[in-house]
Structure 1
């Protein structure tokens, strides 16, 4: 039957662990036969896995992949925002970091200096921080999660600039951290680099972490020694 964007958007909010076909049909108002056909299509596209008779299991990554699929089917920004909460996005980023050996913290507040007025500081928040000890250095990866459907290049540049400010503030407060790497994780499929800050699609975040130390010379790394120097 193919995958209907509208039906997919009705199913996405219930992609949370194990759910029965009957419950999914009841919650979404979609007939069991259509639910079954849709789920078979999703599983064949690598989203979800059948468990036993009449049950399907979804992970956080499945939910993100389903949202990306909906976007490819021309879901609007408003439609995406209604089915994907920003907490889902942050949670998935943290899970991927932990699976790659990082310890994580979410919604970390730092006091950053903005502007030229001496002593003028404001509180800023880092969505997700991943910490890992690599090559005798304690490295922090600071993630800003943007689950917007569309973001302009100029807006992304401002986001990256603020993330560098957060990285400098974070490393100034954390004496146990040697390096801080600011990064932005987004929903869209196109990776990029703005002033040394990587823009990483969530679907490629694992790949980015695997390649991080082979591309680190291209990144804007905030180093404690440089700040203290």
Structure 2
């Protein structure tokens, strides 16, 4: 399967049931190629085929984007096909699957702030800022990191049940986990492994404590 075909297919992946003809029309692919793409997606656990229709869920567009990224598609091209909600929904889904209590678009009143995704487990909160657009310079990442640290402090002040808060930036573009002001900048394709290995990072990253 060619990554360029997946790029064409991504806009057609929406949370609904589609016939092959509808998928072909939405993606601009020929019917036979569209059917092959649907089968390829299904073999990668993206979408569910039932007779002559395919059903996608809310995270499938983002998961197809990650698959295209792994196959060599350009991250800038992929980011133009995604809505920020796609990114946040997948982050929430991964946290859920790893036993975190999750909150999406968490709002604080004083000071007025919004956190893209919050995951809480064993009195520790991960505060996720999702950045799916273009690559950022080190100075811009440092600015994002500083703001996320501020959000982590505010969240911890407002939530007595949480003892630790870890600010994290989640991105589409990086190939490995980086650090900006000791805040981890984690590529979405590494997010699951970051969660499983996070205990090894705690001495080296910013952890806000009560």
If the length of structure 1 is used for normalisation, what is the TM-score?
0.78
Give 1:169 shift: 0.9
1:43-82 aligned at under 5 Å gives the runs 46=44, 48=46, 51-56=49-54, 58=56, 62-68=60-66, 70=68, 72-74=72-74, 77=76, 79-82=77-80
Residue 10 in structure 1 maps to residue 11 in structure 2: no
Whole-Å separation in 2 of the counterparts to 1:151 and 1:58:
31
Aligned to 1:103: 101
Q: Structure 1 pair 155/47, CA: closer, same or farther in 2 (3 Å)?
A: farther
8 Å contact from structure 1 (residues 111, 169) kept in 2: no
Q: Point out where structure 2 has 5 or more consecutive residues left out of the alignment.
A: none
Aligned to 1:31: 30
8 Å contact from structure 1 (residues 80, 149) kept in 2: no
Q: Point out where structure 1 has 5 or more consecutive residues left out of the alignment.
A: 113-121, 225-229
If the length of structure 2 is used for normalisation, what is the TM-score?
0.84
The aligned length equals 206
- Rg (Cα) greater in structure: 1
Whole-Å separation in 1 of the counterparts to 2:80 and 2:204:
36
1:1-229 aligned at under 5 Å gives the runs 2-3=1-2, 5=4, 7-16=5-14, 19-42=18-41, 46=44, 48=46, 51-56=49-54, 58=56, 62-68=60-66, 70=68, 72-74=72-74, 77=76, 79-110=77-108, 122-133=111-122, 138-188=123-173, 189-224=175-210
Pairwise CA RMSD: 2.5
Whole-Å separation in 2 of the counterparts to 1:129 and 1:202:
16
Whole-Å separation in 1 of the counterparts to 2:170 and 2:41:
24
Whole-Å separation in 1 of the counterparts to 2:196 and 2:39:
31
